[in-house]
Amino acid sequence: MKVLTEYLWFNTPARREMVRITDQVAQIVERSQVKEGIALVSAMHITSGVYVNDWEGGLIEDFGVWLEKLAPSGRDYRHHQTGEDNADAHLKRTIMGHQVVLPITRGKLDLGPWEQVFYAEFDGQRKKRVIVKVMGE
């Protein structure tokens, strides 16, 4: 079995941002030379996530509005009693998920027709990373 591990680094200018990473993940899969297998893509920070969905601007805005309704910023969360101000980011990450497992078929990511991979940042403006681990034959 072949295994390749690489990292993607992010330092988003905004506190909250959705970044399409499909091409970077596909390049890592290609470098791995895995023909049949899986790619694990996982955010390594508790206020960011990874998800798969459509790359459509309105939908990305809808996610932001929806997440803000479910976990609004500026509330008096208990987590803030520790001196932090990012409890909403932790909650948003839990809702969106922290990792995805993607199929590899014939050496390529095998995504559906509209599926794209995204890095979701909920407490940005500092350096964070995502692990991409490709495994297979």
Q: Are strands 108-109 and 115-121 parallel, antiparallel or unpaired?
A: unpaired
Residue 47 lies in a domain: yes
Distance CA 110, CA 90 (A): 30
* Stated pTM of the model: 0.95
pLDDT in tens, 51-90: 999 999 999 999 999 999 999 999 999 999 999 999 999 9
Question: What share of the chain has pLDDT > 70, as a percent?
Answer: 100
Distance CA 136, CA 130 (A): 20
pLDDT-derived band at 12, boundaries 50, 70, 90: very high
Domain count, the chain: 1
- CATH label of the domain that carries residue 61: 2.60.120.460
Report the first-to-last Cα separation within the chain, whole angstroms.
Answer: 5
Residue 27 lies in a domain: yes
pLDDT in tens, 97-106: 999 999 999 9
Residue 33 lies in a domain: yes
Q: Which residues contact 55 (CB under 8 A, 6 or more apart)?
A: 20, 22, 114, 116, 118
Residue 46 lies in a domain: yes
CA atoms within 13 A on the CB side of 59: 9
pLDDT of residue 10: 98
Domain residues for the domain of 60 are 14-72+85-136
Residue 37 lies in a domain: yes
Q: In what order do the strands lie in the sheet containing 115-121?
A: 17-20, 115-121, 48-54
* Beta-ladder partners of 79: none
Residue 77 lies in a domain: no
